[in-house]
């Protein structure tokens, strides 16, 4: 009972919530890079929010269903089709035994999630079933036989739209005051500039290109970092750490993307514009509570 992998895509991997208690051992969190899309995809097919799903990036896989199953692709607007015709991202569908599912490319964003009713099966490692490597041709992705109701998500909702220009809210990083010209605020070049994501971006982080920012003159010791940490390299360019980012770093930390905006890092394409805007701790907390409440409302509505 499974999907047979006929083509693997660019980087398709099984993900759940990741390894949330292993950073002290130097193991990144991992798991779904866009957690809201992963959770909402699972809700649409009636799963618990932590069910194992297949994350696809830029160009997806080709899979053959070995039995009947109920599924959805949720996230970036990938081109999706089966032997019977095209499918709509954000709308559930049923596959027949032997039917082929093709997930092509996407004109916006980077990642989406293939969720099947009951979730995929996977081996648990350090408290998570997230795979350590992408899928490969010839592999089988185990899941149970299923059927389900057809449901659709409101993809025209403002908070679900994907853009090619992103504004990320940030809090001060540990070394912000050490940057030249940043005694009271962020350096002018950071606060007023438009950056572009480069081709070197991946799950470890989004590498940006923009006006070089003068870095602190003094060396710093390596210290803990986390997803959303903005480090500035010796050439004055910024790297925003992603879900697979390292657990310690020695570059100065200029800023920290707030938790409510972390999912955006998973959808920033090479060439996309990125801006940063300062916010307060209170604003960051309010943004997280609002986003989480909206996500839970959709989960409750769709899983009923």
Angle, alpha carbons 173-273-195 (nearest 5°):
50
Let me know: does 243 contact 227? Beta carbons within 8 Å: yes
For residue 169, give the H/E element and its range.
strand 165-172
Span 17-44, mean pLDDT? 93
**Segment 262-304, tens digit of pLDDT:** 999 999 999 999 999 999 999 999 999 999 999 999 999 887 6
**Segment 191-210, tens digit of pLDDT:** 889 999 999 999 999 999 99
Span 256-260, mean pLDDT? 97
Please state whether beta strands 273-278 and 165-172 pair in parallel, antiparallel, or not at all (unpaired): parallel
pLDDT, position 1: 60
Give 118-126's long-range contacts (Cβ < 8 A, gap of 24+). 118/47, 118/51, 118/143, 118/144, 118/146, 119/42, 119/47, 119/48, 119/51, 119/52, 119/53, 119/143, 120/14, 120/51, 120/52, 120/53, 120/54, 121/52, 122/14, 122/16, 122/52, 126/19, 126/22, 126/27
Angstrom distance (rounded) from CA 33 to CA 45:
20
Tell me the percentage of the chain whose pLDDT exceeds 90: 81
pLDDT, position 180: 87
Domains and CATH numbers, the chain: 2-158 (no CATH), 165-292 (2.40.100.10)
């Amino acid at each position: 009972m499974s999907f047979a992998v006929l083509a693997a895509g660019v980087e398709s991997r099984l993900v759940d919530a990741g390894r949330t208690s292993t950073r002290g051992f130097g193991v990144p969190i991992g798991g779904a890079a866009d957690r809201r899309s992963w959770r909402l995809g699972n809700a649409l097919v009636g799963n618990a929010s932590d069910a194992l799903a297949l994350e696809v990036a830029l160009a997806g896989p080709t899979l053959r269903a070995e039995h009947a199953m109920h599924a959805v692709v949720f996230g970036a607007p990938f081109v999706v089709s089966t032997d019977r015709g095209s499918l709509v991202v954000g709308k559930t569908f049923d596959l027949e035994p032997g039917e082929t599912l093709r997930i092509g490319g996407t004109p916006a964003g980077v990642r989406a999630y293939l969720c099947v009713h009951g979730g995929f099966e996977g081996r648990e490692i350090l408290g998570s079933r997230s795979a350590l490597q992408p899928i490969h041709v010839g592999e089988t992705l185990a899941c149970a036989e299923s059927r389900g109701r057809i449901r659709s998500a409101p993809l025209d909702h403002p908070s679900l739209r994907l853009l090619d220009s992103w504004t990320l809210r940030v809090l001060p990083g540990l070394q912000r005051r050490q940057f030249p010209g940043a005694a009271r605020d962020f350096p002018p070049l950071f606060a007023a500039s438009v950056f572009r994501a480069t081709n070197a971006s991946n799950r470890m982080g989004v590498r940006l290109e923009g006006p070089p920012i003068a870095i602190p003159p003094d060396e710093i010791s390596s210290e803990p970092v986390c997803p959303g940490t903005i480090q500035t390299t010796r050439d004055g360019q910024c790297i925003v750490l992603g879900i697979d980012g390292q657990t310690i770093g020695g570059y100065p930390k200029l800023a920290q993307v707030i938790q409510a905006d972390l999912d955006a890092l998973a959808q920033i394409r090479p060439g996309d514009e990125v801006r940063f805007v300062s916010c307060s701790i209170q604003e960051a907390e309010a943004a997280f509570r609002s986003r989480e409440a909206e996500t839970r409302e959709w989960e409750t509505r769709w899983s009923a």
